[in-house]
């Protein structure tokens, strides 16, 4: 009896898709919001804001990283993803050593500030890349192995979100988070 109903079933009508221009604009806006830390994600500026200098290189008991190590890891990984997305000649750092700083603490307050500024610059560049209607979010990156700009933007957002959660954990343990 089931076989008959399957054989005689009529194909379903599929609703007409939304115009590509509107879909594209909405997707780009969602990506920029996601990268910006809006919605359910923590804002990176707030996460790293007001960190006392003496806490930046402290690894809380039981954790393998300090705030400096997390910041630098996020900065390096984000830079690598951005450069891969826009430069066929880019060479990624060696994994995993090249994605983490060599020191537990920043060498200076200036190094901390520079890392934050560079992180902000590269994040803004990724947001501009996905916001631009000249960027095909779905086309495979020519020098990649199947990656798209959409995939790389989602990777940046996911990676940053994951590590920002760790930043807040470290700050809570150190007693310098709200």
pLDDT tens track, the chain, 178 positions = 444 444 544 554 544 444 557 788 999 999 999 999 877 777 899 999 999 999 999 999 999 999 999 999 999 999 999 999 999 999 999 999 999 999 999 999 999 999 999 999 999 999 999 999 999 999 999 999 999 999 999 999 999 999 999 999 999 999 999 8
- The answer to whether residue 116 is domain-embedded is yes
- The answer to whether residue 114 is domain-embedded is yes
- The answer to whether residue 83 is domain-embedded is yes
Domain count, the chain: 1
pLDDT of 15 reads: 47
- The answer to whether residue 120 is domain-embedded is yes
DSSP string, 50-97: T--GGGTT---TT-S--HHHHHHHHHHHHHHHHHHHH-TT--PPPTTG
- The answer to whether residue 115 is domain-embedded is yes
- The answer to whether residue 69 is domain-embedded is yes
Is the sign of the CA dihedral 48, 50, 55, 60 positive or negative?
Answer: negative
CA-based end-to-end distance of the chain: 64
Decide if 84 contacts 141 (C-beta within 8 A).
Answer: yes
- The answer to whether residue 154 is domain-embedded is yes
Residue 132: domain span? 63-178
Could you tell me the pTM of the whole model?
Answer: 0.87
């Amino acid at each position: 009896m089931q076989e008959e109903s399957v054989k005689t079933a009529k194909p379903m009508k599929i609703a007409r898709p939304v115009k590509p221009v509107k879909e594209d604009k909405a997707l780009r806006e969602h990506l920029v919001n996601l990268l910006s830390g809006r919605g359910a994600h923590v804002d990176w500026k707030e996460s790293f804001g007001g960190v006392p200098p003496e806490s930046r290189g402290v690894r809380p008991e039981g954790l393998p990283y300090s705030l400096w190590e997390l910041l630098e890891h996020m900065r390096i990984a984000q830079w690598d993803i951005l450069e891969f997305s826009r430069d066929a000649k880019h060479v990624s750092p060696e994994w995993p050593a090249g994605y983490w700083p060599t020191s537990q603490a920043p060498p200076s307050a200036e190094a901390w500030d520079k890392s934050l500024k560079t992180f902000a610059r590269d994040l803004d560049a990724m947001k501009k890349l996905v916001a631009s209607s000249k960027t095909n979010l779905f086309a495979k990156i020519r020098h990649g192995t199947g990656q798209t700009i959409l995939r790389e933007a989602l990777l940046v957002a996911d990676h940053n979100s994951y590590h920002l959660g760790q930043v807040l954990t470290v700050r809570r343990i150190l007693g310098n988070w709200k």
